[in-house]
Chains A and B, each alone.
Chain A
Amino acid sequence: MAVRHLEVEVRREPGGAVLDLRGEINGFAEEALDTAYAEAERDNPETILLNFEEVDYINSTGIALIVGLLARARAAKRRLVAYGLSDHYVEIFNITRLSDFVSVFPDEESALSGAA
């Protein structure tokens, strides 16, 4: 099985900047995530939303990268929101306590409403 390197696109919505994530969040994803997050921060949005709808694999290194994004968001007093996680990764967000600090929504509509 070939690694699906992460691709990230950034778009602006009224509720915040959205990172559309596609692929795997693992050790290979660091540069793509960092670059996209920096791009999302450029307009100083109150909220950055992570769209996991097309992410099919997150490993422990990927969790560490998300922790890094959360630390950056908190340092800038920005809110980090996640949506589109599978039930399994919602469970992992719960047991790692990421969901205590990142608001988790099922889809973009509820995430943007929640972010507003």
Chain B
Amino acid sequence: MTAPRSGARRTLAEVSVPSEPGNERRAMEKVAGAVEGLGLPAPTLERLKTAVAEATMNAMEHGNHYRAELPVVIEVSASDAELFVKITDEGSGPPAFDSEIPDLEAKLEGVQTPRGWGLFLIKSMVDEMNVTGDEHHHTVELILHLDDRAEGGK
């Protein structure tokens, strides 16, 4: 049974990046800086960075259509047990992700496009991912269970 997760959330950082190709790296480095004090194991930090980069890239491309004047806003917060990264763009409706599960053999045979790895990578890198949307924003929330890390979790 999973232990109850409690504790107040504290905001670690709120940053934004213009929607320009390549800025997902800026986003991931800013998040990495924000969580420095949490002492995440290096492999966990690398996974978080990849998830943040992919979610930011999706937000810039599908939410903000790479319009530089539209920012992607990233809020990093933590409780004792969990780390939360919310990535919000200015699109409307549910966030657009390629819903097809990537199958490498199908891609090699030309049945699937070579692309479409973003959502798969995000889900593989974090413990939970929640997506929400309204008329003005999409938000992807990434969650890491911090108490699993010490026990050799993902």
Task: Indicate whether A77 reaches chain B with its CB closer than 8 angstroms.
Answer: no
**Complex: chain A residue closest to B107, CB-CB:** A67
What's the minimum C-beta distance from A13 to chain B, rounded to whole angstroms? Answer: 26
What's the minimum C-beta distance from A74 to chain B, rounded to whole angstroms? Answer: 6
- The DSSP consensus for interface residues of chain A is helix
Task: Indicate whether A92 reaches chain B with its CB closer than 8 angstroms.
Answer: yes
Residues in B whose Cβ lies below 8 Å from that of A98: 104
**Known contacts being A95-B124, A101-B104, is A60 close to B115, with CB within 8 Å?**
yes
- Name the one of A61, A63, A92, A101 contacting B108, with C-beta atoms under 8 angstroms: A101
**Known contacts being A1-B25, A1-B26, A60-B54, is A88 close to B43, with CB within 8 Å?**
yes
What's the minimum C-beta distance from B142 to chain A, rounded to whole angstroms? Answer: 15
Give the one of A28, A59, A60 with max B CB within 10 A: A60
- The DSSP consensus for interface residues of chain B is helix
**Known contacts being A3-B22, A88-B46, A92-B50, is A60 close to B108, with CB within 8 Å?**
no
B108 touches A71 (CB 8 A): yes
Residues in A whose Cβ lies below 8 Å from that of B110: 71
Query: How many Å lie between the Cα of A24 and that of B23 in the bound state?
Result: 13
Query: How many Å lie between the Cα of A87 and that of B102 in the bound state?
Result: 22
Task: Indicate whether A68 reaches chain B with its CB closer than 8 angstroms.
Answer: yes
A57 touches B108 (CB 8 A): no
Residues in B whose Cβ lies below 8 Å from that of A74: 108
Task: Indicate whether B93 reaches chain A with its CB closer than 8 angstroms.
Answer: no
Interface residue total, chain B, C-beta cutoff 8 A = 27
B24 touches A59 (CB 8 A): yes
Residues in B whose Cβ lies below 8 Å from that of A71: 107-108, 110, 114
**Complex: chain B residue closest to A98, CB-CB:** B104
Query: Which residues of chain A from 48 to 101 have a CB within 8 Å of any chain B CB?
Result: 57, 59-61, 63-65, 67-68, 70-71, 74, 86-88, 91-92, 95-98, 100-101
What's the minimum C-beta distance from B74 to chain A, rounded to whole angstroms? Answer: 15
Query: How many Å lie between the Cα of A29 and that of B105 in the bound state?
Result: 23
Partner-A contacts on B (CB < 8 A): 21-22, 24-26, 29, 43, 46-47, 50, 53-54, 57, 102, 104, 107-108, 110, 113-118, 120-121, 124
Given contacts A59-B57, A60-B121, A87-B46, 9 further A-B contacts (CB under 8 A): A1-B29, A28-B22, A59-B24, A59-B54, A60-B54, A71-B110, A87-B43, A96-B117, A97-B104
Partner-B contacts on A (CB < 8 A): 1, 3, 24, 26-28, 57, 59-61, 63-65, 67-68, 70-71, 74, 86-88, 91-92, 95-98, 100-101
